[in-house]
Chain A
Amino acid sequence: MCSEIVNSFVQAWHDHPARLRRLTAAGRKCIGYFCTYTPVEILYAAGFIPVRITGGRGTVEKAYSLAPDFICPFMKRSLEKALAGEYDYLCGVIQSYTCDAACGMLNIWKENLKGTHYHLLSLPYNDNDGARTYLRLELKALMERLVVDTARISANALGQVVDLYDGIRQRISLLYAGRFKGRLPISAQELAYVVLAGQVLPPQDYHEQLERLIHSIDDKDVEQTGVPVLLSGSLVEEPEILGAVEAAGLRIVADDLCTGLRPYSPAFGRGEDPVDRIVDRLMARSPCPSRSKAIQRAAHLRTLVMKSGAKAVIFLVQKFCTPHLADIPILAEELKKMDIPILVLEMDEHWQSSGQFQGRLQSFLEMIVL
């Protein structure tokens, strides 16, 4: 059960396919993306509603006709849904090369699903003047591709969209800051709904909803129960998973998820024009395992642990996810040096709040308490 103040987000998340279909029928265009390194500002400025593609829990049948079984649940379930027509309102997918699976899947979608706009961006990994110049050109190439059948994106219009997204990210950051201070009266599961809704709602609507939420929250200490933990991973598309973690006696005080704080940090970038601002923000993003070294992530997790007071780190990893799985040994070693206990849990597409999951969490809790 979620509290009333987040009901509009829960509803928005659950109803988003119907809503996006209605918008499409009314003439709006929706475009998908798998990973948060896609510059949504450009998509929106070009006249598209950016929609984060999700897989969710369920079975996989049709997708195995196009992809192997040793691919993450997110990718196979997304394809399954697409093949079942659940993404028929999308007019394509714009994706940055963040992992091999997402890159390959973009091509598979392009080959097998309708849509006219499929494009792979290649972002630089280094941050220097040359890399930034290159990224500007890569973003401009995307704009040129998108504006074929829409009005050209003016600097002014793009600037306003960047302002809008900066505002959204600042508000999300505000909610997380409240959680760090123990002054956010909503659970991790509820916060997950708030974040997820933002990845499928038109940004203007989402901004307004966030504003209402922030105004409805009283800035006061919230009673805290459970052992504080940090949750790290990629997508957790079922907020109930976070609820199950908290039900086991743990309290999620910080996260390093791409359905959590990671894509919203930093909230904005600096620069002389809107493209520079997008470039600056992408370059400064919190380390993602697809684009960073484990050692950089270890430093980031250390900061989050210190800031939030977490006593342990739980890695919630999608099965077969190379970027995350490959980082685990180094992260485990680094966190061990800090005497921070860790637990690694893998999720498959059939995830449910099983007894085994609960059992492992409870054993972990007992170990931390002891």
Chain B
Amino acid sequence: MEKTQKSIKRLKSGKALNQVVAEYYLECMQAPREGRPVVWMPPMNGAIEMCYAMDLQPVFPENWSPVCAAFGLTPRNFEVAEGMGYSRDLCGYLRNIIGYVNGPMQAEAAMPLGRLPEPDILLSPNGGCVPVMKIFHALERRFPSAKVFAGDLPQVAVEEIKQHHMDYAVQEGARLIEFLEHAGKRKLNEERLREVVALSDQACALWDEIMTYRRVIPAPFSAAEIGIMFVMVTRQGTAKAVDFLTLVRDEIQERAHQHQGVIADEKLRLFWDNIPLWYNMGLFNYFEKMGGVVVAETYSAAWSLRLDPSRPFESLALKSLRSYPMVSCVSVERRKQMLLNACREYHIDGVIMHRNKSCLPITLGQMDIKRALETELGIPTVFIDADHMDARNFSVAQFQARADAFMEMLLARKGYAHG
């Protein structure tokens, strides 16, 4: 097994995904030439719909990091960031993007997907996790001519969201629109926003539908295909996301109806908690040799929500308030219930917990979730110590030793003979 490797894609729509990704980054590069202001922002909030409704180009530096990892460009970015004094103990997304904008982004040679266009506008978040806030502070320094909007977003557990949190998030959304109208020199058309929110809601509905097919045994697709999430990060609120997800849904529906699984003999169904190793998506295939399929993961829950197009401002505020806590330590109790439910619904045999050095917010609370899985459902867990961005924090040998022992134990529990 290699330390870095790509996953095996089995969905035909995987090819369409490559095109969707390439088109998105091409669109980003063309935006300045086409007069569309470029807006750099964090993912998982309602600003994306506002940007698409106003014909602004949203760009997600956080999403660029998995792209860099996939193309093996992170070591150079880390070298630049660490050379600037950023500690290796900091989040890999942070070190990667700071290294990228201060190094390779300025180089002549572009990456396979081009490069990110410089931002005209930075949406610097006051909310979410600390590393993402610090990323944008560093970006403000790197791009001093960009116009900056620092928007507050209450950091509160999903089950604790009260009216005053909603009111404040709506108010900050209104302030953002006012800023974008001024900085982007265009007006927001509310009718257009309702259309965009309706498209976003359709994408969420399709996402939920796609996820329900993973309950089928054998699973029609695995976490190795989770790259489909790309449209939920970068294209929410567009017909492109809806079209792509429709294509994925149709293919998965067909595979489910035909009982076409990921592998010929699915013996074990697994759940992956925490962010994948972007430089080694092939890890998901590793379990297949012993009949294991990773049929669900935490990250997909971030997009499991609905929006009401008739109340676009409130819907986007609620989306912004819920997305990060849903998958982080802000809502450990909610996340625990989400995992327990997922394990029941997806008929999970074992859970792989990625103890992720690059993401404390998702890693914290894992031990409590592990205990709940064991006591309430009798589902075993294995911990994999790694890092979603930095391959230096991942040991192949240690992973194999733990994964193999875990799989053998799960197989024995289900009555399969060893080997």
Contacts and interface: CB of A to CB of B under 8 A. Distances in A.
B331 to A, nearest CB: 8
Nearest to A320: B89
A66 interface: yes
Contact of A326 (B94, B155, B332, B361): B94
Interface stretch (A221-229, A255-263, A327-335): A327-335
B73 interface: no
Q: Looking at chain A's contact residues, is the secondary structure mostly helix, strand, loop, or mixed?
A: helix
A326 B368 contact: no
A141 B162 CA distance: 9
A141 B84 CA distance: 43
B357 to A, nearest CB: 5
A253 to B, nearest CB: 25
A131 B89 CA distance: 33
B168 A134 contact: yes
Interface in A95-137: 97, 99-101, 103-105, 107-108, 111-112, 120, 122, 124-126, 130-131, 134, 137
B164 interface: yes
A329 B328 CA distance: 27
Contacts of B164: 134, 137-138, 141
B14 interface: no
A327 B329 CA distance: 23
B154 A125 contact: no
Interface stretch (A21-29, A47-55, A288-296): A288-296
Interface string B84-118: 11110111001000000000000000000000000
A327 B86 CA distance: 9
B372 to A, nearest CB: 9
A362 interface: no
B330 interface: yes
A356 interface: no
B360 A68 contact: yes
B183 interface: no
A57 interface: no
B332 A107 contact: yes
Contacts of A322: 90-91, 130-131, 134, 360
Nearest to A141: B162
B90 A325 contact: yes
A293 B137 contact: yes
A71 interface: yes
Most A-side CB within 10 Å, residue of B141, B155, B360, B363: B360
Contacts, number: 135
A294 B137 contact: yes
Given A97-B155, A325-B90, A111 B129 contact: no
A130 B151 CA distance: 12
B150 interface: yes
Contacts of B155: 97, 103, 120, 122
A120 B154 CA distance: 11
A16 interface: no
B368 A108 contact: yes
A346 to B, nearest CB: 8
Contacts of A104: 328-329, 332, 360-361, 364-365
Given A101-B364, A111-B368, A112-B368, A330 B157 contact: no
Contacts of A294: 137
Contact of A328 (B87, B152, B363, B365): B87
A135 B409 CA distance: 51
Given A320-B89, A322-B131, A328-B87, A70 B168 contact: no
Interface string B146-188: 0000111011110010101101100110010000000000000
B130 A100 contact: yes
A81 B118 CA distance: 48
Contact of A293 (B87, B140, B165): B140
Interface centre among A71, A104, A108, A141 (most CB of B within 10 A): A104
Contacts of A131: 152, 168
A100 B329 contact: yes
Contact of A120 (B87, B126, B160, B162): B160
Nearest to B89: A320
Contacts of B130: 99-100, 290, 322-323, 326
Nearest to B91: A322
A177 interface: no
A107 B333 CA distance: 8
B367 interface: yes
Contacts of B86: 325-326, 328-329
A125 B85 contact: no
A65 interface: yes
B311 to A, nearest CB: 20
Contacts of B141: 295, 330
Given A103-B155, A134-B167, A325 B364 contact: no
20 contacts: A66-B367, A68-B355, A97-B156, A103-B361, A104-B360, A104-B365, A108-B364, A108-B365, A108-B368, A111-B368, A122-B155, A126-B151, A131-B152, A134-B171, A141-B164, A293-B137, A322-B130, A322-B131, A325-B87, A328-B87
Given A101-B360, A105-B364, A294-B137, 13 more contacts: A67-B367, A97-B155, A100-B130, A122-B165, A124-B152, A126-B126, A130-B172, A141-B164, A293-B140, A295-B141, A326-B86, A328-B85, A330-B141
7 closest A-B pairs by CB: A104-B364, A104-B329, A125-B126, A329-B85, A137-B164, A326-B134, A107-B332
